[in-house]
Structure 1
Amino acid sequence: MTAEKLYKDVLKIFIFVLVFSGFITNYLFYTSSINTSTIIIDVLYLILFLLYILFNIKFKNHTIRKQEVFIVILYVFIFIFGLVKIFIDNNALLERISGFRNYFIYISIFILVSNLRKTKNYIELINTIINFSYIIFIFSILQFVLKDYLPDRLMRLKGEGIYTYQTVDILRANGLLGHPVIFGGFCVMIFILSANLYIQYKNKKYFVLSLIAILATFASSSRLSIIGILISILLIMILNNTDWIKIFFKIFCISFIFMIVLYIIYRLYPNLYIFNIFLAKDEYVQGSNMVHLQQVYSAIEYIKKNVLFGIGLGSQGISAKHVAIISDGTWFQNLLELGLPLFIMYIFLYIVCIKYVIVLIKKIDNKFVKSLGRTFIIISIYFMYSNFVNSSFLARICYILYWSLFGILIGYEKSIHKNIFTKF
């Protein structure tokens, strides 16, 4: 077995554990307080890091492009500042360590993924993600349909509840990835990926997955994810068509027809569950909206009082060992945990990465680069606005997948342009 193949296989195992983490958690040491999948993911991450070092000792000519140097340096600065915050924050130490890992260590997956040298290996990684997504989406639809027959371990992740709507007997599918909102965010990401791949390659496998991703999104009943699918369709049409007059005419016609059909359905079936959740007729939805608004107001007040350093890494979200100030809204959580200076650097990293991808798409006429590049841009746009409302982006499955896609893109681009490497 070559070093390249070993490295690729560990990455594929890592993706497997990431996507099917809920099954691993629910069926390994279920009665204990141990989150089995988290331990396995972190161990695999450490193995990848060690292999990365060994791989580059063996190939001493490891290089990085000039355009990537700034991204890596910026990441290192953010990593160092995050490390400093572990020592200056006052919240629980375990929270700080978990928060540091979730924010700053997991980002480095883009460096680890981009270490592969063969073009075919990046294509294989994407197809691995696609194949695993097929399974998890079909399973989630079964959750939605067979809710009265599946055992508890297949209905909810350990430590999570079963989420339903009170006005209708509907279960919100979660794919065992945690909260349905997290699963909905994952659905949107895979939909964008598969749709862009289909446009470039015309492979029916990608088209079918796009349709299943839409069904899975509706099964999650995540309002923002359903809206995200609709907006993503428009963005995919725009980015894959250079005839602006034609594309905007299509968008206008599709939107007009969609609104008419939606109105007719509403008049015929006013109590349809999808209308109940979007029009806030459901008591759970009403309560959720009120709680979220209250949390946002509280978060803004705390941010005002702790602008420079925040209130501590890991003090909000899944890392928190106490009741968090805000449970939904990534940007508010970021400001609360990081403080304004580090938050600005953190956001700047996203902007630099998006700009880098835009340049790649413009300069390189390659189907894989264009499909993956457009995927990364559209996913970034989706999370830019969804991050004001929910925190699905910070969920491990979405966060690591996002940065993995970026790593696959830059790694693939390097593998087809080896002659323009520069020493770092």
Structure 2
Amino acid sequence: MKKNIYIFLNKLQIILIGIIMIVLQLPFIRQIDFFSKVKYYLLALIIIFFILSYIKLAGSKYQIVKNYSLSIIIALIFLFSLLNVLINGNYASFINQILFMLFPLLAGIMFAHNKEEIKFGKTNSSSISHLLLIIISIQVLSALVINMFDIDLTQFAVNDLHAYKTFYTTEGDKRIAGTLGHPIILAFVCIPLFFLSINYYKQTKNKIFLLTFILTLYVIIHTFSRGTWLGIFLSLIIYFIVSNAKSKITMTFNIIIFVIIFIYFNMHEQSSVINRFNSLLNYSNDFSVIHRKLMFSWALERYLNNDLSYITGIGYGLGNNFASIYVPSDNFPVIDNSFISMLIELGTVNMVISSILVIRALYFSYKSNVVYMYILIAMLFASLTFDISSWYLPSFMFWLIIGYNNNKQKIHCR
């Protein structure tokens, strides 16, 4: 197959993934009744994606190097998920897992094998990086417009009690939520753009990417999401530790600029940011901290008392449904921790397998594309404050990045 046809098919696949990610950030997507119809269209796009993959690989001079360990890992996840359907009949959960975990995972792995990457100006970044940059930028701009004009999205809160209301911190500061329905979700989705935009700026010196970084930073700050703040800060510390001397000087300068921008954006809010961190130390009046502490013991009890926990789990994305049946003592049926919710949802075996994928992604990204290591560290830390599997776009994006960074082997000629 000619090189330009191969690139054309690659672009079609990127466009398909982009369409799916745009659909997943539309406000009405949180309406369950509507989404049950949309699922079939998403499944159709997935089928088209794999047809293009087959045409691209079968008709080209390229073939993917066999990776038996990765193939076994993916097969085991699928088999134990299928076993969950046979035992519990959770067909909806199985479809959700295909749409928001298995498919983006496989798509990411396939994009990691692309021989011909789509170039974006003077950058040497990947097609996935370009896609994330564009899609998340759309969400950032949407969030800014919604906040600026105070657009009411509560009409989209049908069947979703906790989405699209106006969120405030304990200290009374309004939080930006965008079209995703919750400020924590918006902050989590912005993490890749935070790191990618500054990385693109370093490569190109194009001020558009610097502006993108500043706007993204503004949105992340005004979500008042402490998990994301701390996750990004942890990644920056790790960057400082592993970088060489010259990079450390640059990093020190960047941190100074970061702190100045951070303070500037919050001068008019006085000590809002400081108060958010102080509430972690004195959390007697902070419901979110008290609730997450409670859910650790709740989840452990549910895990130990549920026979399916050790085999298949209850089903991907069903953790909060489970909490609605076994209501915690504060009557707030949301787990708010991706690690303990996935332990209940996936079961011990799939949780261990998924953890292996995450560890592999961290290792390969450190070896070949370190910006994604910082992205993943920040995302993993931020996921301590919400349930990835319960939110469509974060789940899709997280597993896409995990898949992309799980296999850095090149495509070989026949």
> TM over 0.5, yes or no?
yes
Residue number in structure 2 paired with 1:218:
221
Q: What is the match of residue 81 of structure 1? A: 80
Larger mean CA deviation between 210-219 and 115-124 belongs to: 115-124
* Change beyond 3 A, Cα 1:286–1:52: same
**Counterpart amino acid of residue 76 in structure 1:** A
1:51 corresponds to which residue? 52
SS in 1 for 2:314: coil
TM-score (norm 2): 0.77
2:55, 2:99 → 1: CA distance? 22
Per-residue deviation at 1:131? 2.9
Q: Distance in 2 between matches of 1:283 and 1:39?
A: 44
Read off the aligned partner of 1:58 and give its amino acid letter: G
Per the TM alignment, residue 225 of structure 1 is displaced from its structure 2 partner at its CA by 1.3
Moved more, 278-287 or 104-113: 278-287
Could you tell me which amino acid in structure 1 is paired with residue 149 of structure 2? L
- Say if 2:287 is the partner of 1:287: yes
Does the 8 Å contact 2:175/2:223 carry over to 1? yes
SS at match of 1:118: coil
Equivalent position of 2:315 in the other structure: 313
Query: Which range moves more in the overlay, 383-392 or 180-189?
Result: 383-392
Q: Within 5 Å, give how 1:102-113 maps onto structure 2.
A: 102-113=100-111
How much does 1:102 deviate? 3.4
2:357 is paired with a residue of what secondary structure?
helix
| 1:353 lines up with 2:350 in the alignment | no
Query: In the TM superposition, what is the alpha-carbon distance from 1:221 to its structure 2 partner?
Result: 1.9
Matched, 1:338 2:346: yes
Q: Residues 204-262 of structure 1: CA distance to partner in whole angstroms, max 9, x if unpaired?
A: 333222211111112222111122233333344445x3128x8389759968x969x97
Cα offsets for 1:52-80 (capped at 9, x unmatched): 22333323x542236x4432332223222
Task: Name the amino acid aligned to 1:389.
Answer: T
**Number of the residue aligned with 1:232:** 235
Q: Residue 397 of structure 1 corresponds to which residue in structure 2?
A: 393
Judge conservation of contact 1:22–1:37 (CA < 8 Å) in 2. Answer: no
Cα contact 1:185–1:393 (8 A) shared by 2: no
Give the deviation of 1:48 after TM superposition: 0.5
CA shift, 1:298, in A, is: 0.6
Deviation at 1:154, TM superposition (A): 9.1
Tell me what 1:179 maps to: 182
> Which 10-residue stretch deviates more, 138-147 or 91-100?
91-100
Hey, what does 2:329 align to over in structure 1?
none
Contact 1:277 1:285 (8 Å CA) reproduced: no
The aligned runs of 1:269-280 (5 Å cut-off) are 272-280=271-279
Which whole-Å CA distance do the structure 2 matches of 1:143 and 1:25 have between them? 15
Bigger Cα displacement from structure 2, 388-397 vs 191-200: 388-397
In the alignment, which residue of structure 2 is the partner of 1:381?
377
8 A Cα contact 1:100 1:314, kept in partner: no
Q: Secondary structure at the match of 1:129?
A: helix
Alpha carbons of structure 1 residues 340 and 215: separation in structure 2 relative to 1, 3 Å: same
| Matching residue's letter, 1:52 | S
Query: 1:351-389 CA distances to partner (integer Å, 9 max, x unpaired)?
Result: 223323333x2xxxxxxxxxxx11221122223333333
Deviation at 1:140, TM superposition (A): 0.9
1:82 partner letter? S
- The total of aligned residue pairs comes to 393
**Deviation per residue, 1:58-117 (Å, 9 max, x gap):** 23x542236x443233222322232223223x3744334434543434321213434644
* Other structure's SS at 2:286 match: helix
Correspondence for 2:199 among 172, 190, 196: 196
For residues 154 and 131 of structure 1, the distance between their equivalents in structure 2, rounded to whole angstroms, comes to 27
Corresponding residue for residue 95 of structure 1: 93
2:111/2:404 contact within 8 Å kept: yes
Q: Answer yes or no: is the 8 Å Cα contact 1:56–1:62 preserved in 2.
A: yes
- After superposition, the Cα gap between the structure-2 partners of 1:402 and 1:283, relative to the gap in structure 1 and judged at 3 Å, is closer
Counterpart code for 1:396: Y
Contact 2:93–2:315 (8 Å) recurs in 1: yes
Q: Which residue of 2 aligns with 1:368?
A: none
Q: 2:325 aligned with 1:329, yes or no?
A: no
Distance verdict in 2 for CA 1:285–1:377, change over 3 Å: farther
* TM alignment of 1:29-48, pairs within 5 A: 33-34=34-35, 38-48=39-49
Q: 1:23 to 1:254 in 2, by over 3 A?
A: closer
Supply the distance in 1 between the matched residues of 2:254 and 2:370 (Cα, whole angstroms): 24
Q: What is the rounded CA distance, in whole Å, between the counterparts of 1:173 and 1:39 in structure 2?
A: 31
How many angstroms apart in 1 are the aligned matches of 2:259 and 2:351? 39
Instruction: Report Cα offsets for 1:20-61 as digits up to 9, x if no partner.
Output: 53337369xx896445655543331221122222333323x5
Alpha-carbon distance in structure 2 between the residues aligned to 1:146 and 1:109: 37
What's 1:243 paired with? 245
* Percentage of pairs with the same residue: 16
Tell me which amino acid in the other structure corresponds to 1:202: K
8 Å Cα contact 1:165-1:284 kept in structure 2: no
C-alpha distance 374-396 of structure 1, shift in aligned 2 (>3 A): farther
Contact 2:190 2:216 survives alignment (8 Å)? yes
Q: Distance in 1 between the 2:302 and 2:396 partners?
A: 28
Change (3 A) 1:243 1:303: same
Q: Residue 329 and residue 340 in structure 1: after superposition, are their counterparts in 2 closer, same or farther (change >3 A)? A: same
CA pair 162-189 structure 1, distance change in 2 beyond 3 A: same
Give the TM-score of the pair, scaled to structure 1.
Answer: 0.76
